Amino acid sequence: MDRSAALALIAHDLKNALGGLETELSQLIDEPSPVMAQRAHLHCTDLRRQFVQFLTLYSADREGLRVLCEDESPLELLEAMKRQWKLKLQVDGCPLEIAIRHPDLSPPFWYFDRRLVQLALDAAIHNATRFARRHVWLAVQREGEKLVWTVEDDGCGLGAQDPGQASATGLGQALAEAVAQAHRQGQRRGSATLGQSSEGGARFTLELP
């Protein structure tokens, strides 16, 4: 499927998700409840996140992604994301555990575009939480001249039946590839791959030069 067809499909998904939110909000009018309001708010935030991903991908498709790299702490970013996702899973009543593996292997700093990497990892974590049975593991470490981020789950791995939106994985992966490609160092570029985890589930890898 080419990029524009993928974008159209994703837009279709976003429209459906917006329909879901609309239903939640109309229910709230009939039976106002703080718990439901919080859930609707969370879904709205989630939808916004997907729109940002979609727009980022769309602009990457049109004019290429521009990165603004600063020295950042990779571990600090992972920890911030873990915090946000834990809260999100808690509000959704989802029993998944999200943890950082081998935090000591993270280099103290690396040059990357925090906003874009966060978008890509967010999409990967989002996918992992949809397939995982109990655990999602995050990790970041230096391998030679590369910084390697991984998001793993203990689901059924690649080829598992998608329990949710059909093309959400496609959006996340396309976005991660665009983010990886936009990170360059001399002749070297980043890459994003989806493979099998040793835990049985899927393993998302984002490598940055």
Residue 188 binds other proteins (CB under 8 A) = no
The only residue of 11, 24, 42, 73 in contact with other proteins, by rule CB under 8 A = 73
Q: Tell me how far, at minimum, the Cβ of 29 lies from other proteins, in Å.
A: 22
The only residue of 111, 135, 148, 199 in contact with other proteins, by rule CB under 8 A = 111
For residues 143 and 191, give the distance between their C-alpha atoms in angstroms, rounded to a whole number: 14
Which is closer to other proteins, CB of 29 or CB of 68? 68
Residue 90 binds other proteins (CB under 8 A) = no
- Confirm if 201 and 153 have CB atoms less than 8 A apart: yes
Range in contact with other proteins (rule: CB under 8 A) among 17-25, 104-112, 148-156, 197-205: 104-112
Residue 71 binds other proteins (CB under 8 A) = yes
Which is closer to other proteins, CB of 12 or CB of 66? 66
Residue 84 binds other proteins (CB under 8 A) = yes
Residue 91 binds other proteins (CB under 8 A) = no
Cα 56 to the chain's mean position, in Å?
A: 13
Residue 48 binds other proteins (CB under 8 A) = yes
Going by C-beta distance under 8 Å and a sequence separation of 6 or more, which residues neighbour residue 66? 182
Which is closer to other proteins, CB of 45 or CB of 196? 45
Burial of 51 (0-12, 13-18, 19+ CB in 10 A): middle
Residue 108 binds other proteins (CB under 8 A) = yes
Task: Tell me the one-letter amino acid at 172.
Answer: G
